Structure 1
């Protein structure tokens, strides 16, 4: 059971009649094999055609292992004979992109001895993969110029199946091992000849334009994205409009957009530097205020501070600033959907913050977090709800110091669905600003 592929003889034919040879099922959709078809099946880097068979939309076209063309449909057609109609806009787009790819690949080969090792055509992008990874902008411009020169020359494009003797005389590049049986050849004037089973225009002028869009290095190769014909026009139109919009926003000419953006970037860097300095001063003042708030407390030196939605980076800066004070311990938290906890202490405080944090989080069933004896933190406490820190701390007198080996502390956080046993609270001072002193 085989299918005559009408597009081999005429890629411009869009309507045909055919006999249904077989009715099959492809997943949830009906499928048919015809005695002949204009529909191109996915293959060789080119996607399938779309259109209708009878009243049913064609959803996909594939080649069976036996070589027949399988049409996957939206609905099951009736009757033995059926009329088919192609989506011509899609077919023409594929023809422009595929013939354009042949020209572009040959231009890379002629100018840089770069071979095409991959080709991909989709609804939105067209790419070729080259076996080299070093192309300058001047190199790409030269390739693009040569390719468009071939387009403007309106050279003829011929596709045919040569016999074995004729095939042996053609200057073909390596034929893919996937190709079996008769080999179809596509010849572009005197510029290129290669084996290909895809659909192509009959003259290069129909491509209109070949435009390289961007390149990307990938494992010793270069992926070149490009556009041909209507795609190239739409790409230019979209980018031109956006460039003009940017120019209007920046109140400059489109040719000066780059310089205008560079100036804005420099201004932004200066403002960010000033902002960082100002934030540093504010945080320094805030750290001093927190420190002064606990100076007269029952447990001087222990700063406990919790605020909803506080930036974790600022908490760490505050903790570092506070822990520069002799005898200081900073226990800071940010409540909310992504809670954060920062513990820090001065060098002269005989307490391991990392161990204390680990012990605290264990009570909550949380394992993330860590740090050093002087500073530890944990983030992503997604169940954290408006936490409160409760502290049990020894006095600073020598007797208390000996009994508690410096400072013993435990932290409990009110968690969603978790209410630990209450601790005895020695002291806590709540300020309207959110500062707690203990």
Structure 2
């Protein structure tokens, strides 16, 4: 079978065409000519329709045959094809935006692009650096956008070996055979088999969203064209809502949020101080009402609180001269013992061992867990009998 004639190489704006089916494999078909781009080089496959049936995936095999996976089989031999243009144009905006942004980082800082991925929501490139300042990111973003707004012509073509030797490619080709070069004016020349617009202005705009260190490289996440518009639109709407909730102008929202954060931190400190005072008062009251075993004032009780709060209360009971034998009835039942004049760790290990649990600690404070919350009362009774 002959290789598929790939129409998108000659006209990336072709949306409708006729073709013949030359091979079938269940719901996969091969055409003699196709403008559907097969998934390759980090760019997803095109979608569209063949005789009205949805094309859900497009792949290229080792013989340069483009295979189209359909939503359902079709019987015809001569077919009419149409492209999902919105998806194609979005991919062209993102892909060529990547070329321009990669070239900007290369020219400004000599950071090469070693990875590229185009998802349904954003685009990423991996650069040969582990860090970039906000100013450097903005400088590269500005340069790439200046090239977009100059609306430079984009030329995509196959070149001879002689022509290739005269072109300053940003990156050496990774394939053998005929080389297709995509040029954005004199700004960037890249070997690429993907789909691109006719001029840089069609990219619209490049907007860097964030950067992230990935080992020895830096991953840049960005969006172009329609995606950039959508991203900035929802962010602007959110900023407006935040500003309105504070009754301030959008450019004052950051200061308003900072003031709220400072107030929240102050209130949190006040709450923690008040909570500490309440726990101290509670611990004193518990010790005053505690049962006496020998010389020890023992408080044995099961709590339905956060373990951290119960642990803090147990230590305060110990500081007030008592012994705390506490159970915590949560999804993972726990025992917390604290006090002076006994070995809390030894007693706790004996008790949790009797109920199939584990734990340990020092003579002054110990903690462990058992399997069933229903056994907490029996576990405390065992601890009390051990003290007796």
Of 134-143 and 120-129, deviating more is 134-143
Separation in 2, partners of 1:158, 1:90: 21
Q: Which protein shows a greater Rg?
A: 1
Query: Residues 292 and 298 of structure 2 are in contact (CA less than 8 Å); yes or no, is this contact kept in structure 1?
Result: no
1:340 to 326, 334, 343: 334
SS in 1 for 2:152: coil
- Matched residue, 1:228: 224
1:384 aligns with 2:373: yes
Name structure 1 gaps, 5 residues minimum: 395-406, 410-425, 427-438
1:158 shift after superposition: 0.6
Q: TM-score, normalised by structure 1?
A: 0.83
Match of 1:239 among 228, 232, 235: 235
In 1, the alpha carbon distance for the partners of 2:145 and 2:230 equals 17
Q: CA RMSD in A?
A: 2.2
What per-residue deviation string (whole Å, max 9, x for no partner) do you get for residues 91-134 of structure 1?
A: 00000111111111111111111111111111001111110133
Deviation of residue 23 (structure 1)? 1.6
2:17 touches 2:81 (CA, 8 Å); kept in 1? yes
Describe the shift of the 1:364–1:180 C-alpha distance in structure 2 as closer, same or farther (beyond 3 A). Answer: farther
1:222-261 CA deviation, whole Å, 9 max, x = no partner? 1111111111111110000000000011111111111111
Q: Does 1:285 align with 2:281?
A: yes
Structure 2 match to 1:129 = 126
Q: CA deviation at 1:377?
A: 2.0
Q: Distance in 1 between matches of 2:316 and 2:168?
A: 75
Structure-to-structure mapping, 1:43-62, within 5 angstroms: 43-62=40-59
Q: In structure 1, what is the equivalent of residue 266 of structure 2?
A: 270
Distance in 2 (alpha carbons) for counterparts of 1:386 and 1:357:
14
Offset at residue 356 of structure 1 (A): 3.4
Q: Which has the higher helix share?
A: 2
Alignment of 1:32-111 (within 5 A): 32-111=29-108
Cα distance in 1 for residues equivalent to 2:287 and 2:243: 51
Is the Cα contact below 8 Å between 2:291 and 2:299 reproduced in 1? no
Report how far residue 297 of structure 1 moved. Answer: 7.1
Matched, 1:117 2:95: no
Q: Please list every run of at least 4 consecutive aligned residues from structure 1 whose deviation after the TM superposition is greater than 4 angstroms.
A: 295-300
- Secondary structure of 1:301's partner? strand
Whole-angstrom distance in 2 between the partners of 1:99 and 1:128: 12
Measured in 1, the distance between the counterparts of 2:355 and 2:213 equals 48
Evaluate the alpha carbon distance shift between residue 289 and residue 52 of structure 1 in structure 2; reply closer, same or farther with a 3 A threshold: same
TM-score by length of 2: 0.93
Q: 2:156 corresponds to which residue?
A: 159
Distance 2:331 2:76 in 1: 62
Q: Which runs of 5 or more structure 2 residues have no equivalent in the other structure?
A: none
Mapped contact 2:21–2:77 kept (Cα < 8 A):
yes
Q: Secondary structure in 1 aligned to 2:132?
A: coil
Of 382-391 and 313-322, more deviation after overlay is shown by 382-391
Q: Work out whether residues 47 and 84 of structure 2, in 8 Å CA contact, stay in contact via their aligned partners in 1.
A: yes
